[in-house]
Structure 1
Amino acid sequence: MTLLPAYDNVGKIHRKIFGENYRKEYAYKTKVPIIRLSQINGGLIATQRGGGNQSKSLRLADKNGKEWVLRSVEKYPEVLLPPNLRETFARDILKDNMSAQHPFSALVAPVFAAAIGAAHSDPVIGWVAPDENLGEFDDDFANTVALLEERLPVGPTDNSIKMSKKLVEDNDNSVNADMLLKLKCLDVLLGDWDRHFDQWRWLAQPT
């Protein structure tokens, strides 16, 4: 299968203006595993739509109540545009710019995270098979390439807003500045500029 061969179906002038990016990688024929939600961890059931800005995402839960996330590899950046521009050439330009993101970059991040001693998930990118566990979200996710991972691989954590409140409420609470700096540098290295508040998770640890 190929992911998004349209990225590579452009001429020399287009490439000169908008860049080569990872067009070839999106057009390569590749093999990915099949994601069958009903056969993973006793069955993953869709619970609600996620809050991603550019990817379609879905919250899932297994039989033990553990949360998982299914996130489309294809990006839909038109949501960043004003409504009156979403059906214009601006959408096409913005969509084409998504070829600057490597389609399998999420598989590299855990390797770097482990190297600096940071907690991380172990995502899988695969083809989502039609499954009754998708429920009402079947049309959006079945027969697409998506990333599947545990939402909270290290257990209960706080998002950035809750963490900030805890810092204010108790002076004994503090941030591990060394690890935070390492993680910020990792974001720069990977080019991950658009994390929203819920993507940063904070784990409480005794000192």
Structure 2
Amino acid sequence: MKSIYRKKSKAKFSPDDAEPIKHHDLGENVELITVDSQWFLEDWDDHVYINEDSEIQNRTLFFLELENRIKKAQGKIILVAMYHPIETNNKQGLFKNVGGFSSQDFQNKQYRTLRNRLKTTARGAENVIFLSGQGKNLQYIKGSVPQINSGAARNLEAVRNGEEGDFSLKKNGYVRLDITTGGEVIAHYQTFENGTTKEVFKTTVLKGDADHTESYTFKKNYPRTQLASIYTKKAATKSGFYKALWGEHYRDFYGKEVNAPVVLLDTLMGGLTPVKRGGGQQSKSLRLVDKTGKQYVMRALKKSTIKFLQANAFQETYVGDVLDGTVVDKFLADFYTTSNPYTPFAIGSLSSKVGVNHTNPILYYIPKQQVLGNYNDDFGDELYMIEEHVGDTQIESESFGKPVNILSKADVLQEINKSGKSVVDEPSYIRARLFDMLLGDWYRHEDQWRWALYKNDDGTEYCSPIPRDR
């Protein structure tokens, strides 16, 4: 059916090429991610070759790829388009509401897993809107993540009224999105009757990046250095019984004040500007760019307990700040003291000695300041490291070996499949992993690696690892 439509019309299908996820840049500040939700809901036992031509071979990789795509698009408006909605006000009947025997039913177990995981991922990001067409009606559901449903092309389905601010209508029509350069998104709901269109509902889905830095009072003069610690003395102090139970750790380092240089980002390295938030599983970070386009990462020494819990323990439930200050939060914060927080600043010279690519972090105290803009809400007034962002803007870096390009894991696999020439330099990877073990850096997930691509004189290529987020 899809091939017939392609031949007979100008319609484009996405995702295609047997992949369940595709992404498209719709301009400088808009990213479209298309998802084949039926692929996820399908009973694969009935379709044993469903993943034969796909790089995404299972549902775990599907979620990792989606999270990676949303993470890479941070700072943009992200439109996630898929057939099945994550929220609906459709009237479904008793059996569908109770159990959902079909995979198409909203309360079906597999469907519920899909929408809960997607919703949790979206809530951990910013400016995400879901677009769907399963419901044969027009819907806008404000919710924790905006859901737009526009499936009212022909046959219609009954729909109930939603919460305040929602919209539901059983009429033929469509939705038009207006997106401004300032990040504002306005949805126009149009009905189509007797050959004419009529706007029946209009709402602002995203308000854009309104600057509210006027709510902050910034200092006019800053000291050259600032005494600061990662944790307060109280948070780092534990009883003898507690330490006998859980160990000594490096709590003294976390509670000890250090004298760090104070910097203003608009004067550092010729002037740095915030671009977007980072998306690590523990770190609180901000991407920066200088006037030549080179990118850097500003990472807080105090790790985020909530991000770790969200990524590993509550994948289908959004935690937010619910656990702030709780026993769980405090215990996990203390767990981080098992590693020395200042180790990253010694790794650069050690890495050079053993031939491992590395970044070059520098310790600063970064106060809240005008250039941080709205990021002042979550950043500033604590200790940070600033290092090179491991990406293609830093290919001239000596500590990366001046590669031709810097790739992600997915990029490396794609490069190998495409050319048949690219190979991973196994000795350098083994050396990097042994170095991790020597340092005691046990927790290394796939997003903490990038790959430097080099070319040999004979035209062959090879990739060497670049560990990041130490």
Q: Distance in 2 between matches of 1:195 and 1:132?
A: 35
CA gap of 1:67–1:196, structure 2 versus 1, over 3 A, is farther
Aligned residue runs from structure 1 range 62-81, under 5 A: 62-81=290-309
Partner of 1:150: 388
* Structure 2 residue corresponding to 1:105, chosen from 337, 343, 349: 343
Partner amino acid for 2:407?
Answer: D
Q: Deviations over 1:19-63 (max 9, x none)?
A: 110011122232112132111122100010001111111011000
CA contact (8 A) 1:56 1:72 kept: yes
1:119-152 deviations in Å (ceiling 9; x for gaps): 2221111100232221211132211111101113
Question: Partner residue of 1:185?
Answer: 434
Identity over aligned pairs, percent: 28
Contact 1:57 1:71 in 2 (8 A): yes
Instruction: Write the distance in 1 (CA, Å) between the matches of 2:438 and 2:264.
Output: 33
What residue is the counterpart of 2:410 in the other structure? Answer: 161
3-state SS in 1 of match to 2:348: helix
- Structure 1 window deviating more from structure 2 (40-49 vs 123-132): it is 123-132
Which of 359, 362, 372 aligns to 1:121? It is: 359
1:89 to 327, 348, 353: 327
Residue 7 of structure 1: how far off its partner (Å): 4.2
Which structure dedicates a bigger proportion of its chain to helix?
A: 1
Helix, strand or coil for the counterpart of 1:183? helix
Residue 184 of structure 1: SS of its match in structure 2? helix
Q: Is 1:141 aligned to 2:379, yes or no?
A: yes
Compare the two structures and name the one with the higher strand fraction. 2
For residues 377 and 369 of structure 2, the distance between their equivalents in structure 1, rounded to whole angstroms, comes to 11
Structure 1 window deviating more from structure 2 (149-158 vs 184-193): it is 149-158
For residue 297 of structure 2, give the secondary structure of its aligned residue in structure 1.
strand
Q: Is the 8 A contact 1:79 1:86 kept in 2?
A: no
Q: What is the aligned-residue RMSD (CA, Å)? A: 1.9
Cα pair 1:53 1:77 within 8 Å, conserved: no
Q: Distance in 1 between the 2:412 and 2:238 partners?
A: 46
Structure 1 stretch 111-120 or stretch 76-85: which is displaced more?
A: 76-85
- Give the 3-state SS of the residue equivalent to 2:364 in structure 1: strand
TM-score by length of 1: 0.91
Question: Quick one: higher RCO (CA 8 Å, sep 6+), 1 or 2?
Answer: 1
5+ long unaligned stretches in structure 2: 1-226, 397-404, 457-470
Task: Tell me if 1:205 matches 2:454.
Answer: yes
Tell me the distance in 1 between the aligned counterparts of 2:374 and 2:380. 11
Separation in 1, partners of 2:374, 2:440: 34
> Which protein is bigger by CA-based radius of gyration?
2
Structure 1 gap ranges (5+): none
| Residue type of the alignment partner of 1:121 | T
How much has 1:17 moved relative to structure 2? 1.2
Q: Deviations over 1:69-124 (max 9, x none)?
A: 00110011233333398354222211111111212111121122101222222111
The number of aligned residues is 207
Contact 2:236 2:255 in 1 (8 A): yes
Q: Tell me which residue corresponds to 1:132.
A: 370
Q: Is the 8 A contact 2:407 2:451 kept in 1?
A: yes
Matched, 1:51 2:268: no
Trace 1:19-34 onto structure 2 (pairs within 5 A). 19-34=247-262
